[in-house]
Structure 1
Amino acid sequence: MKPRLGVPSDLEAVTSAVIRTMPLDPQWDYRFPYRHQYPADHYKFTRMLFEYFLDPSFDDWLVMVAEDSLAPGDSISVVSFGVFDISYVNKRRHGPGYKPQDPVTEVENRGGKTRRDANHKHFNEFWKGQIRAYKKYFAPLGPEQMHLQILGTLPEFQRRGHASSICRWAMDHVLRKSLKDMSVMASPMGYNLYTVLGFERVGTFYIQVPGEDERLVLQAMMYKPKIWETKTTEDGDGACVML
Structure 2
Amino acid sequence: MEPRMGLPGDVDAVTRVIINTMPLDPQWDYRFPYRKQHPEDHYKYTRMLFEYFLDPEHDDWVVMVVEDSLEPGGPAEVVAFGVWDVSYINKRRYGPGYKPQDPVTEVEERGGKHRRDANHEHFDEFRRGQMKAYDKFFRPLGPEQMHLQILATLPQFQRRGHGSALCRWAMDLVRRDSLRHMSVMASPMGRELYTFLGFAWVGSFWIQVPGEEEKLVLQAMMYRPPTASRTSLEDVDGNCAVS
| Bin of the TM-score, shorter chain as denominator length | over 0.9
> C-alpha separation between the residues in 2 aligned to 1:67 and 1:124?
33
Q: CA deviation at 1:48?
A: 0.4
> C-alpha separation between the residues in 1 aligned to 2:111 and 2:73?
42
> C-alpha separation between the residues in 2 aligned to 1:100 and 1:198?
28
AA partner of residue 39 (structure 2): P
Secondary structure of the corresponding residue to residue 159 of structure 1: coil
> C-alpha separation between the residues in 1 aligned to 2:80 and 2:86?
19
The reply on whether 1:118 has 2:131 as its aligned counterpart is: no
> C-alpha separation between the residues in 2 aligned to 1:81 and 1:185?
16
Matching residue of 1:59: 59
Q: Which runs of 5+ in 2 are unaligned?
A: 229-243
Matching residue of 2:232: none
Matching residue of 2:99: 99
Q: CA deviation at 1:227?
A: 1.3
Q: CA deviation at 1:74?
A: 1.0
- Identity between Structure 1 and Structure 2 (%): 73
The reply on whether 1:109 has 2:109 as its aligned counterpart is: yes
Q: Which has the larger radius of gyration?
A: 1
**Within-5 A mapping of 1:122-201:** 122-201=122-201
Matching residue of 2:81: 81
The reply on whether 1:42 has 2:46 as its aligned counterpart is: no
Q: Which runs of 5+ in 1 are unaligned?
A: 229-243
Is the Cα contact below 8 Å between 2:65 and 2:81 reproduced in 1? Answer: yes
> C-alpha separation between the residues in 1 aligned to 2:184 and 2:133?
10
AA partner of residue 88 (structure 1): Y
The reply on whether 1:22 has 2:51 as its aligned counterpart is: no
> C-alpha separation between the residues in 2 aligned to 1:128 and 1:62?
23
AA partner of residue 16 (structure 1): R
Secondary structure of the corresponding residue to residue 63 of structure 1: strand
Judging changes above 3 Å, is the alpha-carbon distance between structure 1 residues 70 and 43 closer, same or farther for their aligned structure 2 residues?
Answer: closer
AA partner of residue 148 (structure 1): L
> C-alpha separation between the residues in 2 aligned to 1:212 and 1:109?
28
Instruction: Count the aligned residue pairs.
Output: 228
Judging changes above 3 Å, is the alpha-carbon distance between structure 1 residues 37 and 71 closer, same or farther for their aligned structure 2 residues?
Answer: closer
AA partner of residue 81 (structure 1): F
> C-alpha separation between the residues in 1 aligned to 2:155 and 2:2?
19
> C-alpha separation between the residues in 2 aligned to 1:102 and 1:71?
37
The reply on whether 1:206 has 2:212 as its aligned counterpart is: no
> C-alpha separation between the residues in 1 aligned to 2:72 and 2:181?
37
> C-alpha separation between the residues in 2 aligned to 1:19 and 1:94?
36
Is the Cα contact below 8 Å between 2:49 and 2:107 reproduced in 1? Answer: yes
Q: CA deviation at 1:62?
A: 0.6
> C-alpha separation between the residues in 1 aligned to 2:225 and 2:87?
19
AA partner of residue 64 (structure 2): M
Secondary structure of the corresponding residue to residue 179 of structure 1: coil
Q: CA deviation at 1:5?
A: 0.6
Is the Cα contact below 8 Å between 2:81 and 2:166 reproduced in 1? Answer: yes
The Cα offsets for residues 1-42 of structure 1, whole Å up to 9 and x where unpaired, read as: 100110100001001111111111000000000000000000
